[in-house]
Amino acid sequence: MLLMQQGPAETTSYMIAGYAVIFGVMLIYLVSLYIRRRNLQQDMQVLEDLDQKDN
């Protein structure tokens, strides 16, 4: 299909979609790391408070 055309194919929208996926998925993973860390830190805080109450 592309071999018969004159000049480069108009494929800009596919490039934008590709990079939206790349940056979007990386961002989602970063946010998931941040949320999981925040939740674990909150759990840790609760456990440390319980420790102090026991002692």
Partner 1 sequence: MESKPRFLSILDLVSLTLLLVASGLVFFYAPMEAVMGQVQRVFYFHVAAGWVGMLGFLVAAVAGIFYLRTNDHKWDVVGLSSVEIGMVFAFINIVTGSIWARPIWNTWWTWDPRLTTATVMELIYAAYLMLRSGIEDPDRRARFGAVYAILGFVSVPMTFFSARLFRTIHPVVIGTGDPSAQGTFNMTPKMLQTFLFGLLTFSFIYADLLWHRVRLGKLNDKIEQKKLEAIS
Residues that bind partner 1 (CB under 8 A): 1-3, 5, 7-12, 14-15, 17-19, 21-22, 25-26, 29, 33, 36-37, 40-41, 43-45, 47, 50-51
Distance CA 51, CA 42 (A): 14
In whole angstroms, the minimum distance from the beta carbon of 43 to partner 1 comes to 5
Encode burial over 18-48: b for 16+ CB neighbours within 10 A, e otherwise.
eeeeeeeeeeeeeeeeeeeeeeeeeeeeeee
What is the closest distance, in whole angstroms, from the C-beta atom of residue 53 to partner 1 in the complex?
11
